[in-house]
Structure 1
Amino acid sequence: MDTQTANVAKLYETEHTRLRSIVRRLIGNSTIAEDVVQQAFTNILARTEFETGVNFAYVRQAVRNLALNHLRDVRRRREAELTGVELDTIADGRPSPEMTVLYRSELRRLLQAVAELPARRRETFMLNKVEGLSYDEIAVRMGVSRNTVISQIVAAMLALDQRLAQS
């Protein structure tokens, strides 16, 4: 064992308890505090060369940095993780099979009612509600006034409302 390793080992023996106490105050867990102190000494020993002399202040700073890194990592994990309880309370955004059947049935009824509209009214309705054209765009395309477009869409909505209410 070389002198630097012997110095680090002696420092570990004499200051281990004090360093663990510092980390325990920061983290609040004595088991993790023990792990952090051991990791700091392992990191120091793993270095191939020591640019500075290894003393208590150097080791204390290394231990403190590892403790702060641990707290930051725990905070990040806590933000990213969902517990089992939270997973159970998240609603599935997809409709149930029963609702899918119901929606498809309603869509069929609506499409049938739209198909039964007079041709001009149906075209006006589809251009506005399906293709998303404005009243002015529909008026230009169909060669009619804006008021005619509005009245055709209103009439289509009333007819659809009545037809769907009957079924």
Structure 2
Amino acid sequence: MATRALSISRLYGHERDRLRAIARRILGDPVTAEDLVQQAFVNLLGRSSHAEPPPVSQAYITAAVRNLTLNHLRNAKRHGEVALDDAAMAAIPAPVASPEDTVIHRAELRRLLKAIEALPRRRRQVFVLSRLAGLSYAQIAGRMGISRNTVISQIASAMADLDRALG
């Protein structure tokens, strides 16, 4: 096994640039080409433990990289993937809310905060610790000195109260 891994490592060192060039010619994307070459070698290493592992040869790994590259193209077409370079990504404007959307969202947030404020004290504490502070039910129970089931019950009641308040 160690000898086989060493052979695969040597093959990677000798063939990596040539295989990247093949994948890059097919894809036109050097980053994805590098990823696919690495994936081919990872696959080869993973198959080393099989009863009959594939050969560690230039021909085998070339075919593997070519197949992975073609599969990637096929999947990209099926899923409508679009590759953008760094310049194209930089040209995409960041989504900015319109002034109207900002006013609407702020009003909704004020309504939500008022509804949370109106919850009974313990229910509000449990809700805030869970939903805003991100604590687990067990952490809340330990911090507040109540059972986990009480935490669950308080959160369910808080959600129902907020649903009614925000209608």
TM-score normalised per structure 2 = 0.46
Larger of the two Rg values belongs to structure: 1
TM-score normalised per structure 1 = 0.46
